[in-house]
Amino acid sequence: MALRETASQPPWLRPGHLATRVLAFVRRNWRRALRWREKFELREEALHLALAGGVGVIGGLVNVVYFYAIEHVKFFFLRRPGDPVEIAEMLAPWQRAFIPALGGLVAGLVLHWGLRLVPRQGPTNLLEVVVAGDGRLPFRSGLVRVLSSLVSIGTGASIGREGGITQLSATLASKWGQLAGWPPYRLRLLVGCGAASGLAAAYNAPIAGAVFAAWIVLGNFSMNLFAPLVFASVIATMVSRSFFGIRLLYATTPFEFTSVGQLPWFVVLGALAGVAGAVFLKMLRYAEERFQRLPGPLYWKLALGGLIVGLIAIEHPGVWGNGYVVTNRILNEEFLEAEFPLLFLGGLVLGKLLATVATVGSGHVGGVFTPTLFLGAGFGAWYATSLHRLGLAEGLPTSTFALVGMGSVLAATTRSPLLAMILVFEISLDYALMPPLMLGCAISVLLARQLHPDSIYSEPLRRRGLEVAERAPSGEAMEQTVGDRMRAPVPPVRETTPFKELVERFLTSPNNFLPVVDAENRLIGVVALHDLKEHLGRGDELNAVIAYDVMRPPPRCVTPNQTLVEVLPVVLESELRNIPVVNSFKENRLVGSLARAEVLGLFAEAIAAGTRPTGKWAGEPPESPSTR
């Protein structure tokens, strides 16, 4: 009989056949294969690092393309290569006044008609799409703004190119995510990586790029977010260096600080820089309000802003452009060759201040980092020269005061002393400067925020009706760990606990799940109240049922050292009121519980506090980019 059955089977199912042995092997090892597949499955952290590397390449290439695009625009309008300041010094006075006005008119026309040809899209502000949006930056309107920025920078507007590079890098990164259909949290991360790569490539400063994106754009230093930002910054910097090499932006002679008595002068400088930063922010706000009230289309306002820059340049051509060349001249103390150094430097700084305020206030698109560094360098050098004329601090070089002034004014305007310290260090590579630089930055921020409530980045958001703190209130929840919120564990049961005792436990407690532990208090499963219902009609058979028979596999757990942000996905998908907390994923010993409702409440409060409307309806469309 057995022989007949064997003969009737297909050849590949007969015992001893290769296919039969393969099927038997698969049956025995399929579970092990699944476990190995899970081990080698691409984790989200690895995916984010890979995406950050791609965004870093984008940021580095954007810096290269932006540089050569500005050079072509500059040659088209000025008919010669070189820095705008060096070109302005060779032009006739009427040309210094006319060219920025013409450039403003053309840049305004690009904005005016470009944004009308593009259908109405969402906000283009980096912080807005992260704080109150879904990480979607509009590509076409962003491209229009970048083209306008190229014209402004190429014709001498007092604005930096780093803004356009950062904006375009973040826009391209966001567009990549949108085309791939990724969720909002990943789009926000890509925007942050784009901002980090753009700033890092523009200044050859990878640390500053990552800190800028973490502190100002994302408002979060969680390693899950910070690691991709670092990766994007490094890749962007290396891509940029492959084209331009390693070039020190601001070179000075290092000075060794060896005495505490050398530091008080920089405490005073930090305080003065805080006042200067607050005044600068107030002037920017006043200028924007005044220009918005002017009648006429946007391009006339940009032309007026360019004309103001040109009129100032008749006397001080150094106000043209972002100020890179003039800042280096200040650091090298070339202004001392003037007949009246203090008067000349004071007029130059005041002229640059007014030129930058007019440029930004009229609506030109670009960055303010480099002009701010110019103002800080001039302010610090003016302060140092004044001290030296009075016979004070004669042993301290003027360039040191200028560098500290750069960092202090930048910190006062961005409200990020850490960013200012790192950026100034990376663009000067002067580590000996750190003690006075740290003092100046910290003091300037403390004083500036008392005089002006907003930073240069949060003020536009506040005007759009978004209440944004200097560091997002959600950061308080983000910085907390599970251990900070952990409670005592739900009293567990052993795997040998009888069924009747399980029923009694549920009747006397509000929990819908009971953890099951072994003799070493390791979590081996959970018993669900819902699962007991199918056993209630068995009668005497229940005497033989124990917790091991009805328990589920262990749920996803958390550990005390994880942050609330890291465990948020677990909290969202869990159906347990109290999520088990184990000492480690390896030992899995039950040590506590995390209340799901409490964690969700913390995040809800943080989100509500960070995006509270202040004067506009929550559903009102954002202000059109053409009005800025």
* Structural domains of the chain, ranges and CATH numbers in brackets: 2-40 (no CATH), 44-247 (1.10.3080.10), 260-472 (1.10.3080.10), 478-609 (3.10.580.10)
User: Helix, strand or coil for residue 512?
Assistant: coil
Cα separation, 286 vs 587, whole angstroms: 61
**Taking Cα atoms as reference points, which of 236, 226, 239 lies closest to residue 197?**
236
Q: Distance between alpha carbon 51 and the CA centroid of its chain, in Å? A: 15
CA-to-CA separations, 272 to 231, 283, 383, in angstroms, rounded = 37, 16, 9
pLDDT (0 to 100) of residue 199:
94
CB 163 within 8 A of CB 366: yes
Cα separation, 26 vs 375, whole angstroms: 72
pLDDT (0 to 100) of residue 131:
66
DSSP code at position 496: T
Determine the straight-line distance between the first and last CA of the chain, rounded to whole angstroms: 91
CA-to-CA separations, 426 to 273, 433, 499, in angstroms, rounded = 21, 11, 67
The structure tokens 């698109």 sit at 365
pLDDT (0 to 100) of residue 29:
67
The ranges of the chain with pLDDT < 50 are 1-3, 5, 12, 469-475, 611-628
CB under 8 Å to 579, separation ≥6 — which residues? 555, 556, 557, 558, 567, 570, 571, 593, 594, 595, 596
Cα separation, 477 vs 80, whole angstroms: 54
pLDDT tens-place string over residues 278-292: 999 999 999 999 998
Cα separation, 42 vs 209, whole angstroms: 27
pTM recorded for the entire structure: 0.72
- Phi/psi at 143 (5° precision): -65, -40
Give the β-pairing of 513-517 and 493-494: parallel
pLDDT (0 to 100) of residue 622:
36
Q: Number of helices and strands (H, E) in the chain?
A: 27, 7
CB 269 within 8 A of CB 401: yes
- Phi/psi at 340 (5° precision): -125, 90
pLDDT (0 to 100) of residue 612:
44
CB 445 within 8 A of CB 412: yes
The number of beta carbons lying within 10 Å of the beta carbon of residue 572 is: 11
CB 53 within 8 A of CB 231: yes
In the chain, what are the helix, strand and coil shares in percent, each to the nearest 5?
Answer: 65, 5, 25
Based on its alpha-carbon atoms, the radius of gyration of the chain, rounded to whole angstroms, reads 32
The structure tokens 């030992």 sit at 587
Q: For 468-571, where are the E strands, in sequence order? A: 493-494, 513-517, 523-528
pLDDT (0 to 100) of residue 254:
79
The structure tokens 């007019």 sit at 358
Amino acid (1-letter code) at residue 78: L
pLDDT (0 to 100) of residue 623:
39
Cα separation, 624 vs 464, whole angstroms: 10
The structure tokens 């969720």 sit at 183
CB under 8 Å to 209, separation ≥6 — which residues? 195, 196, 197, 198, 199, 200, 201, 203, 229, 232, 233, 236, 237
pLDDT (0 to 100) of residue 17:
57
Amino acid (1-letter code) at residue 173: A
pLDDT (0 to 100) of residue 359:
94
CA-to-CA separations, 524 to 21, 105, 515, 521, 548, in angstroms, rounded = 35, 71, 8, 9, 9
CB 622 within 8 A of CB 466: no
Tokens coding 177: 């995510």
Q: How many residues does the chain have?
A: 628
Cα separation, 596 vs 199, whole angstroms: 39
